[in-house]
Amino acid sequence: MTELTSTEPTTAAEIPAARAIISVRDFNFFYGKKQALQDINLDVPEKQVTAFIGPSGCGKTTLLRNFNRMNELIEGVHHTGNITLAGRSLWDSSLEVIALRRLVGMVFQKSNPFAKSIYENVIYSLRISGVRDRATLEEAAERSLRGAALWDEVKDRLHESALGLSGGQMQRLCIARAIANRPKVLLMDEPCSALDPIATARVEQLISELKNEYTIVIVTHNMQQATRCSDRTAFFYLGQMVETGPTAKIFTSPTEKRTEDYVTGRFG
């Protein structure tokens, strides 16, 4: 795994008691000729939960997917500016994309377990990395399933198909798969949008526990979820980041009127 050298954040005063593990500077992103993100400057503090909120099409998922270069799977995209992870550019020529995605795991809106056993789902990334030692794989599977609060529910059926799990269990399995490689950052794109309230509560509780070990960035349309889960919130509108700050401030005393209008339901 590629190791990154840490540096102090450029704007440490904006992030009390936590250094920025991801820094976005003067970042613009384009799908062909269409500009999706405009002059984004943002610090994501380490081992906290940062929520991206805003109406559909505002750029929050686009930015999230740049953190592990997922957008590069789309033809014709390009960017200006820079994003760094622990002080190192994501486009550093010596940082391979595969190595980056081990450092920055992702959980998608719709749970996407492989048509394999629960066990094989969790250790998939280790297998493709060349890990063959059975004890190492078994330790990683149990550690990851415990980390995703799923071990006690599946420990007696690890070799059964993952497709037999409930929706909420599948999403937690995808979280277990994402943390098996011990990433530095965990990205979550609307992770609860397809779940019922009980499963949503389980995942939200899990997010609160996981931030003790991982930096988490979550995209959500559910503003109540943002207030419950996140330490900091960034509001996006029409490709711009309008405002960012502690979640309590964004929702109770935002600086920008557009932020206030959105969080109070006047638009969006």
pTM higher than the cut 0.85: yes
Q: What is the mean pLDDT of residues 137-149?
A: 96
Could you tell me which of 53, 43, 112 has the C-alpha nearest to residue 237? Answer: 53
pLDDT digits (tens, 9 = 90+) for 65-106: 999 999 998 999 999 999 999 999 999 999 999 899 999 999
Q: What pLDDT score does 129 carry?
A: 86
**Over the chain, what is the mean pLDDT?**
91
pLDDT digits (tens, 9 = 90+) for 150-201: 999 999 999 999 999 999 999 999 999 999 999 999 999 999 998 999 999 9
For residues 234 and 219, give the distance between their C-alpha atoms in angstroms, rounded to a whole number. Answer: 10
% of the chain at pLDDT higher than 90: 87
% of the chain at pLDDT higher than 70: 93
Q: What is the mean pLDDT of residues 37-49?
A: 97
List, edge to edge, every strand of the sheet that includes 77-85.
34-45, 20-31, 77-85, 88-89
